[in-house]
Structure 1
């Protein structure tokens, strides 16, 4: 069994919304990696991987939110995955700024 067969099997066994997040997140990460002003392709690839991971982990939450507001079904997860894949790094930074105290300050 080749790696492509294994990937195909895993995607086929995953719930529909997870497969949508993976595919659309990869698309968003690709758009981000190709449009970055970085000269280093290694750094672009790293940003793409981070975007794809953001799509998988944050896209589910955003997709569920969009779906509950609009009833769009799988399209909500496709949109959320693409948005998190393309803007996942900015979304993670925004969440960190909102939820975590600034550097050097404690919670007390």
Structure 2
């Protein structure tokens, strides 16, 4: 019985780690022309493209970034990418990194006596 409890505890840690990965995102903020801008990109993907959130003065817009230019696709005229390469580096790493499904697959646990 002790082995079963240890196995279940280890399995719960694995599921918790997967759930925390789903919520991971990287963001960068800067000021431009008197406005506060922020770009946040998620490890989640929609149709193979990373979810990206951009805000101007705390008004946020959500979309996807399929070409990793750090701007919501189709809104290149409304938003701008971070001005420095240093700010963009982590955002690009997330954009080019592996995608995470919005809902992790449920893992079945079988106990054999």
Q: Compute the TM-score of the two structures, normalised by the length of structure 2.
A: 0.23
Bigger radius of gyration, 1 or 2? 2
The structure in which a higher percent of residues are strand is: 2
The structure in which a higher percent of residues are helix is: 1
